[in-house]
Structure 1
Amino acid sequence: MKNLGIYLSLFFLLLGVIVFSQSFTMGYYSEYGPGPGLLPLWTGGLIILLSLFYLWFSIKKEIILFAKVMPKGEGFINVLTCMGSLILFMIIVPFTGFLIGSSITLLLLFKRGYKWPWAIGLSVTVSFVVFGLFDVLLQVPLPVNEFGW
């Protein structure tokens, strides 16, 4: 079976069942009106219905092959670079802090499309701008190293 639609619909069916079943651990009503379980219950039910419909549709009519969807050549390398840099960021940010971790990650991404000086400058600039926006302006704490950055 190489039909991607079947796998995606089964994944979302499982996700819907998990959301739907977990919604029963929260109250459907509260003393003031709808409770915290209302939205997950209806969302999970809707996900289940839509995924069952898509499962039927992908079995009967639409066949999407893995080979048609997966990128090849340079596009596949770009996807691997993005996924690898995201995983690297999650691993190194607790140790290096946000500024250094995001600069390294963005450098890996930017070096594929820019020359080295531009890639370094852009990665450091974007990291500082994002850190300034979140830490100073929005006052959202970001992971920092022992130096505070």
Structure 2
Amino acid sequence: MPMRRSEAEWTGSLREGGGRMKLGSGAYEGAYSFPSRFENGQGTNPEELIAAAHAGCFSMALSAALTKAGFTPERIHTTASVHLEADGGGFAITRIELVTEASVPGIDDAGFQQQAEGAKANCPVSKALAGTKISLQATLLG
């Protein structure tokens, strides 16, 4: 399996400084700063990138699980919300909420929920973030 790499560089103090994050593939490069991470400033932040990674990983894991169970998904859309909060000694990612909806012909809701929970438990990003509370709301579209 391939190894993936990304990089970041920060210059200056925490509040007045800034940085850039770059994906190893070159598909994304962007600025980040104190305001983009802890307020609503322009730029990205590590939590937003974690959310994108988790949403993408979960969607692929759910597709794989459904396919293995004999169902071909037409569409899976997932949103991941990553919560960064003060934890007494600094900050921590305290929880991640996955919200997914999918069109999957032939499966009933109970079967879909079972596959979605399995995907949440088994996607590599969920495993990497196992110390964080991860919730799932899964909706099977008619």
Please state which structure has a larger fraction of its residues in strand.
Answer: 2
Asked if TM exceeds 0.5, the reply is: no
Q: Quick check: which one's helix share is greater? A: 1
